[in-house]
Structure 1
Amino acid sequence: MPGTRNPEGRMPLREHLLELRKRLFLASCGLVVGGVAGWFLYDPLLAVLRHPLDLAASTQGKQISLNFTALGSPLDMQIKVALFLAAIITAPWWLYQLWAFVTPGLTRRERLYAYSFVGAAVPLFIAGLALAWWVLPHAVDMLTAFIPQGTSGLFTAQEYLSFVMRLLLAFGLSFVLPVLLVALNFAGLLRHETLAKGWRWAVLVGFVFAAVMTPTPDAWTMILVALPICLLYFAAVGVATLHDRRADRRRVAAAS
């Protein structure tokens, strides 16, 4: 049956693919349910997402507005915004499916790990969204400042809202990544030594990500964005180290 393991603790390729299909189906069902809620909340959500643009228009005294340039754009945009909200409100569900796929055939202890994983991942995902929402008005204000006086900034709704949604999801997922690394470590797929050796690359990626996602001219904003990402990575290394040491001691005790 799907989710079973062979004596070496590994799943055959066919059952691994069946498990992947199962988890994708369950995650998709959750997104569909969340998408229905997002469809009916489209108007207030659109107003919230548009707020940084309206704020830039009021502070700079310029005409800055969103435009739908194609006949099907409003419908397409409503579907995208609904799915965006679905990805946020169903985060506990699809994050659990992610963990369940990484560790199929969950034992009782692994199920406790799964709940802990979701319990840690969801607040971090929300924290990443909050940080992105703090960065967004600064980024929008800086970018729209290049609009010459006497002209109007007319942005297509597709481009602007896609930019906002990518920014929010990128920050949210970047905050969840360290928890995923811990999950892989608890599943026995990643040792803490590997994580520790890659700390330089992790710091570099964190600062590059912050530089790309915060197109503001000051370095402090980039540092404030990069620091939480780097600290979460080092926290993941610490948790993985403690787990591996306990697992090694149990292994030695069982062998003796």
Structure 2
Amino acid sequence: MSLVEHLYELRYRLGVALLAVVIGGIFGFWWFSHRLFGLPSLGDLMTGPYCALPDTMRLEPNGECQLMQTRPFEVFLLQLKVGFSLGAVLLSPVWLYQFWAFIAPGLHKGERVFARVFVGIGSVLFAVGAVLAYFVVPKGLTFMAGFGGDQFFTALTGGEYINFVLLMLLFFGISFELPLVMVMLNRADVVSYAKLRSWWRGSVFALFIFAAVVTPQDPISMLVLGLSLCVLYGIALLICRAQDRSKERRRAAEQTEDPDQPSEVDTRPSALHTTGGSAGGDDEAT
């Protein structure tokens, strides 16, 4: 295609992806305050970690677990933010497919297969990390709210709490992409298994530093994220080792082949007889 046709294609793909996110956002906005097929509302799911705190650590002005609104329309904006975040996650197959459909014509057949696998595995890893973060957040909040004893209670504003939960889900989800990045770099021959294995001590230290930076100042979230990343790092090492061994076997097989050795077709008696007969017939005809 020409450059203009590529731009038209890009505009179409972006339009479909944005439309999918908008539709998912409208659904998430509605689900925030309504129950769906017996499931709790999205608002109940979001406030679940906060309401899991002991009664003595949170504010219950109406006898119910509630967050505090400090500005007009703050709840409306938060509902929009949560709804569109959910829409982007739920309909991620749609906009990921649009991205895939735009770049796929420029890839080889083998690259298309690996790209499709990596996109699928990456989506699963992000979802696993986000779910883990959802169950870790109450533990971290309980630890942080416990400081001060009976002199303080935890009255979080809606904006601060929602932003905190969304960031935790995002950080955990992105962090779980680590093994996928390692495997991709190894497959592209950017880094070898031997090099990754030699870096394991520094890598473990760096993973715990990263976990301490992206998580709130509580040891529970840091330890859970750090240990999870170390386990994923070990799994990625095993996959990289298997990939390097496969590459070595393939290279060894290529080196053992003699380029000057005739093929089996040339050495078969039937082929030689046919070739000789044809040559003789041509000579006689000549």
Q: Structure 2 length as normaliser, TM-score?
A: 0.67
**Which residue number in structure 1 is paired with residue 59 of structure 2?**
63
Distance of 1:97 and 1:181 partners within structure 2: 25
Contact 2:178/2:229, CA 8 A, preserved across alignment: no
Residue correspondence of structure 1 range 103-142 to structure 2 within 5 A: 105-142=106-143
Distance of 2:183 and 2:198 partners within structure 1: 15
**Which residue number in structure 1 is paired with residue 82 of structure 2?**
81
**Which residue number in structure 1 is paired with residue 25 of structure 2?**
35
Distance of 2:123 and 2:155 partners within structure 1: 36
Tell me how far 1:49 sits from its aligned partner: 1.0
**Which residue number in structure 2 is paired with residue 163 of structure 1?**
164
What 5-or-longer segments of structure 1 have no aligned partner?
Answer: 4-15
Paired residue type of 1:166: L
**Which residue number in structure 1 is paired with residue 146 of structure 2?**
145
Distance of 1:249 and 1:183 partners within structure 2: 19
**Which residue number in structure 2 is paired with residue 11 of structure 1?**
none
Paired residue type of 1:132: A
Distance of 2:153 and 2:53 partners within structure 1: 12
Larger of the two Rg values belongs to structure: 2
Distance of 1:84 and 1:125 partners within structure 2: 14
Paired residue type of 2:218: T
Identity of aligned residues (%): 35
TM-superposition CA deviations, 1:180-210 (whole Å, max 9, x none): 3323443x27332564454344322321233
For this pair of structures, how many residues does the alignment match?
Answer: 242
Check 1:26–1:237 CA distance in 2 against 1; reply closer, same or farther (3 A cut).
farther
Q: Which moved more, 1:237-246 or 1:96-105?
A: 96-105
Matched, 1:51 2:48: yes
Paired residue type of 1:42: F
Contact 1:124/1:175, CA 8 A, preserved across alignment: yes
Distance of 1:2 and 1:127 partners within structure 2: 41
Paired residue type of 1:108: K
Residue 50 of structure 1: SS of its match in structure 2? Answer: helix
Contact 2:57/2:154, CA 8 A, preserved across alignment: no
Distance of 1:22 and 1:239 partners within structure 2: 37
Paired residue type of 2:68: N
TM-superposition CA deviations, 1:29-65 (whole Å, max 9, x none): 543332222122122112111112122143x364254
